[in-house]
Structure 1
Amino acid sequence: MLANYATHPGGSRGRLYPEDESAFREPFQRDRDRIIHSSAFRRLKHKTQVFVEHEGDYFRTRLTHSIEVAQVARTIAGALGLNSHLTEAVALAHDLGHTPFGHTGEDALDAMMAPFGGFDHNAQALKIVTSLERHYAEWDGLNLTWETLEGIAKHNGPVVGDLPPALAEYNARHDLELHTHASAEAQAAALADDIAYNNHDLHDGLRAGLFDMDEIAELPIIGPAIAEVDATYPGLDAGRRRHEALRRVFGVMVEDVLTTSQALLVDAAPQSVEEVRVLDHAVIRFSPALWADLKVIREFLFTRMYRAPSVVAMRARVTHVVEDLFAHYRAVPSDLPGEWRAEIEAATSDRRLARLVADYIAGMTDRFALQEHKRLGLGG
């Protein structure tokens, strides 16, 4: 049973290219399945979150992260009466536009693309599902529903001001109403992303030895969780103690989102998804108190994990890899694969060439970028 404010499949605004819908799958289920079967989704298994993909079998990749986000998003959607299929589709697609080497790769590519409009991974995800995936006979992209595309474009809130080029180009021919909020389903996917990465960054940082349990016991949310585990299971071995504590942290975040969001929905009383979109605030949110606690945790992670000496050294190395690849392909576009050459040859401006090179590099996995860097003899 879907709530009034949920996205009902029968009310979908449809697809850019009309097609017959399935007799046994609703439109958002088909969107989810098309995302799962896309090339870009498969490549996420070799793209990193924080660590370079080959550094350890236990660290998260973009694929494992996306699966975790989808699981949390489904839970939130089910508890709030939202459309779980749309929520899952947005959750699974939200990281498709990420470059190799996580946010480090994105920062490097954005800097290289600064003279040409910059690079934004959310806009790139939209470009992938509307253009760069080229498998269907009748259209480029996956021909997803308007609601899924909206969720990919603005799950973090309205997009105003100067738009990333990829987003501006698509929106000009298929208006996603970027000035409004997205559906509650897309908002749930965004909060699920926050929950998943806060939890797994703590787990990965502990496994990497960048900090220990005694240090994070000083942090809000985490300290009480560890104390509860120690009181309930005295003498528990380190691995189980870590898992039991972090699953409680996970539970606190999910429960806070559900409690806060239920209250916001009752107060706003939207009677349709359209009324959700035009509200002046999001309806799926953390409480102010928990959000303040999460900021403390993120500041700790920023210092102890994202700026740890080993991670900083890795960031410097892979930044040079992206810079070298970008400069090389712009100078020698003939080194791009054959399927890219026709577009390269048709590029009528340096801006267009740079954008095509960025699209190619953004699609690389960590290991392929490193292999290409070595094969091309770059970086001395």
Structure 2
Amino acid sequence: MDSEQGLQNIGFGYRPRAVYATDPAASRGRLVAEPESPTRTPFQRDRDRIIHSTAFRRLKHKTQVFIAHEGDHYRTRLTHSIEVAQIARALARALCCDEDLAEAIALVHDFGHTPFGHTGEDALDERMARWGGFDHNAQSLRIVTELESRYAEFDGLNLSWETLEGLVKHNGPLTNAEGEGLDGPVPQSILDYVARHDLELARFAGIEAQCAAIADDIAYNAHDIDDGLRSGLLTLEMLEEVRLPGAILAEVGRRYPDLDPVRRGHELMRRQITAMVEDVIVASRERLRILKPASADAVHDAGCTIVAFSQRMAADEKELKRFLYANLYRHEAVVAVRAHADRIVKDLFDAYFARPREMPEGWREGLGAVDDGEKARLVADFLSGMTDTYAVKEHRRLFDQTPELS
């Protein structure tokens, strides 16, 4: 479709948008009604609330791939979220949709991650198996709708419907039309919230959430390579055997035959991000041309993800992921550290569940009136909010021996 088709400008604080974009002036609102801001759109306010939250600050000391103790230059959840937001905004701008909404969803998407990355999530999910398990996406929703306590009139951040919908469904619908989970049962905390504020789990998310989702893939594919090169677990020679980075490294070698390895690695990172972003823009514009969605609702009902890689780039990205799993995420050095992190999380859960008074003031009130399931969820809320460094500190306080994470 013509890039100018359907563009509108609706006044102060609002930007030109396509007809299929989410309209901030037509937001479905918040669970607790609030007066609108005269200077910011609802999605700009959401972004600001997210940035000023406690959960956002904690991302600074939560692991991406490498445990934080291993060095100051590796990605954390905070740096990753900022990088995802930058890419999401670039995609939203190119597709003429709401950049602020795409950015807000990108910044909040990792709020529910535990300390020590996916290792911590797996450990907590195992301990919570009797009470519905643990899912980081559902935990993100709990944080922004219940656990943040910054406002006098409501729990959570009281974000707009569109931001919450994008947070919960940025990777696609959670149920079919009959309400059955597409990837197993939908976490109860999501169902509980949807009963009060329907996020339409069977429909696709808006185009801005789709921008945030693909931006997440682009960011971690590139930046995990960067961290892998820094750690020495990956080499440029290894990457030359993988189709996408190999082609980029070959081009860099032709243009700069005497370039040192560090700069070659940086050239790979920026060129790979650019290649993926440009591929998404071209492929998504073609889908928009074919589907011709005339409204944001048409995106929700499209029956497919619109913002996605081309078929060829999708195949290259899958090959790259397989390479990273085999050579980085499952490298014996990473696996050994993750085993120690797994023990720390499980030990802490067991200790708090047996002796909940070990949790600090503000978490232990009212424990005498809850059953085991409620107590376990409270422990999971507390434990999942920890940074890596605080989890290690607490383990040292509660146990005689704490595994070394280096």
State the TM-score, normalized to the length of structure 1: 0.98
- 1:1-380 aligned at under 5 Å gives the runs 1-160=16-175, 161=181, 162-347=185-370, 349-377=371-399
Aligned residues: 379
Decide which moves more: 134-143 or 282-291: 282-291
CA shift for structure 1 position 378: 5.6
Q: Decide whether the 8 Å contact of 2:108 with 2:167 is kept in 1.
A: yes
1:60-114 Cα deviation digits (max 9, x unpaired): 0000000000000000000000100000000000000000000110011011111
1:256-280 Cα deviation digits (max 9, x unpaired): 1101110111111111111100111
Distance, in Å, in 1 between the alignment partners of 2:54 and 2:374 is: 23
| Structure 1 residue matching 2:43: 3-state secondary structure | helix
Show structure 2 runs of 5+ residues with no match. Answer: 1-15, 176-180
Higher helix share: 1
Runs of 4+ in 1 over 4 A off after TM superposition: none
Distance, in Å, in 1 between the alignment partners of 2:366 and 2:29 is: 30
Q: Decide whether the 8 Å contact of 1:344 with 1:356 is kept in 2.
A: no
1:309-336 Cα deviation digits (max 9, x unpaired): 1101111000000100000100001111
Distance, in Å, in 1 between the alignment partners of 2:152 and 2:54 is: 16
Distance, in Å, in 1 between the alignment partners of 2:41 and 2:224 is: 35
One-letter code aligned to 2:62 = K
Q: Decide whether the 8 Å contact of 1:45 with 1:61 is kept in 2.
A: yes
Distance, in Å, in 2 between the alignment partners of 1:256 and 1:342 is: 52
Q: Decide whether the 8 Å contact of 2:22 with 2:98 is kept in 1.
A: yes
Counterpart of 2:13 in structure 1 is none
Q: Decide whether the 8 Å contact of 2:225 with 2:234 is kept in 1.
A: no
One-letter code aligned to 1:75 = A
Distance, in Å, in 2 between the alignment partners of 1:184 and 1:264 is: 12
Show structure 1 runs of 5+ residues with no match. Answer: none
Distance, in Å, in 1 between the alignment partners of 2:401 and 2:329 is: 24
Q: Decide whether the 8 Å contact of 1:324 with 1:379 is kept in 2.
A: no
Identity across aligned pairs (percent)? 56
CA shift for structure 1 position 40: 0.2
One-letter code aligned to 1:337 = P
| Structure 2 residue matching 1:5: 3-state secondary structure | coil
1:95-148 Cα deviation digits (max 9, x unpaired): 000000001100110111111101110111011000000110000000100000
